[in-house]
Amino acid sequence: MSSITLQNLTKRFGATVAVNDLSLHIDDREFVVVVGPTGAGKTTTLRCVAGLEKPDDGMVLFDGQDVRSVSPAERDVAFVFQNYALYPRKTAFENIAFPLQARNLSAAEIKAEVERTARMLRIHHLLDRRPAQLSGGEQQRVALGRAMVRRPRAFLMDEPLTNLDFQLRAQMRSELKRIQRELDNTFFYVTNDQVEALSMGDRIAVLNAGTLHQVGTPQEIYEHPADLFVAAFIGSIRMNFLRCAFIADTGALVSADGGWSLPAPPRLREGAQKSKDPGQLILGVRPEDVLLSTEAGNGALEGQVYVAEPLGNHNVYNVRIGPALVRVKTPATFMLDAEARVSVQFNMARAHLFDSATEQALT
């Protein structure tokens, strides 16, 4: 139970900068999720925190104390490795018991603890198997168990749910969240799955190519992405990006090809004026903020359905507006044929504006 602070953390591997000047504070008992695509430097960051990797620059602090000279064991953190790192000659039971045995607990205590943990992770029926006799998802849960059985200062978890099927993953997400509340401990959690990040994190840190893009609550990240990368990465259906220009005289946003013009509400207008080059902007609209209709509406754009994807509980349409393709999320009951002509309306109150040179959000 301690807070973790990363100060200007930098880690290079030869010419690769795996982590670049990363600063992040995790409060005691907070659940922080670092999310980013593959190769973003998530594992490297965690390894620096655990003491398995020596940062080239910057430092890691536990409760405000520099832990540069503190060994991994003395840092007393539990780590769930991305590749599980299970002990191959040991059974699941022995794997989970390992941290307890290393601490010289009595056999009865160990047994009770291991079984309690295994039941929580639903692997109690697999305890006498060796890692090679377990499926990937089962191994992953043994690795989780080996961490959960401890009472460390903090839990570091490197994509601990990636190998589980969809349903089990959803279950484990809420289970982990519950466990975190129960253990009342600091969780530093890494994933490439933005759904996991949004649903589990007290706060989310978005990482790409070693650089921290944004830190905030799930709502902040989702509603106010700081830049194009965050806007594109967060959200189960990618945000639509439309090149446009702001015309100060009319207060309108005009598409780059001149195909459409939309009046900008005050929020977007203010944003556009912050840009050095209001002629080169990117309008960001989430698929659920686009309205389709078969009847021509006031101020609506003309479009044509290009691809229809029925996804069960909702539909996704790719709609062509001039040369641009726009993804639209609609209720499952809203059925359209391919090639159908539709009118398209953007919910401008929830739209985002980005500077295309700096890629930073303007709203």
Partner 1 sequence: MTTQSITPETTRPAAKPGLRLRWLSDRLLAGTFLAPTLLLLLFITIFPLIWSLYLSFTSYNVNSDPSWLEAKWVGVDNYVYMLTTPRVWERFIESATFVVPTVTLEFLLGFGIALLFNREFKGRGLITTVILIPMMVAPLVAGLFWRFMFQADIGIVNYLIHDVLGFQPVFWLTDRTSAMISLIIVDTWQWTPFIFLISLAGLTAVPKYLYEAADVDRASTWFKFRHITLPLVWPLLLIGIIFRLMDAYKLFELAWVLTSGGPGTRVLPVHLYKIAFGDFATGRASALGYIMLVVIIALANLLVRAINRSRAAEV
Ligand X SMILES: Nc1ncnc2c1ncn2[C@@H]1O[C@H](COP(=O)(O)OP(=O)(O)OP(=O)(O)O)[C@@H](O)[C@H]1O
Task: Collect contacts of 49-52 with beta carbons under 8 A, ≥24 apart.
Answer: 49/4, 49/6, 49/77, 49/154, 49/156, 49/188, 50/75, 50/77, 50/79, 50/156, 51/75, 52/79
Contact of residue 179 among Mg ion, ligand X, partner 1, none (CB under 5-8 Å per partner type)? none
In whole angstroms, how large is the CA radius of gyration of the chain? Answer: 24
Q: Is 197 in the site for ligand X (CB under 6 A)?
A: no
Shorter beta-carbon distance to ligand X: residue 44 or 95? 44
Q: Is 39 in the site for ligand X (CB under 6 A)?
A: yes
From the CB of 158, what's the least distance to Mg ion, in Å? 6
From the CB of 207, what's the least distance to partner 1, in Å? 22
Q: Is 43 in the site for Mg ion (CB under 5 A)?
A: yes
Shorter beta-carbon distance to Mg ion: residue 43 or 194? 43
Contact of residue 303 among Mg ion, ligand X, partner 1, none (CB under 5-8 Å per partner type)? none
Contact window for Mg ion (CB under 5 A) among 81-89, 164-172, 173-181, 264-272: 81-89
From the CB of 190, what's the least distance to ligand X, in Å? 7
Strand partners, 45: none
From the CB of 159, what's the least distance to Mg ion, in Å? 6
What's the burial of 334, exposed, middle or buried (CB within 10 Å: 0-12/13-18/19+)? Answer: middle
- In 27-38, which positions are buried (b, 16+ CB within 10 angstroms) versus exposed (e)? eebbbbbbbbee
Distance from CA of residue 119 to its chain's centroid?
Answer: 28
Containing 244, the helix (H) or strand (E) segment is: strand 240-247
Q: Is 18 in the site for ligand X (CB under 6 A)?
A: yes
Q: Where does this chain bind partner 1 (CB under 8 A)?
A: 50, 52, 71-73, 76-79, 81, 83, 85-90, 98-99, 101-103, 130, 132-133, 146, 150
Contact of residue 347 among Mg ion, ligand X, partner 1, none (CB under 5-8 Å per partner type)? none
Cα separation of 56 and 20, whole Å? 10
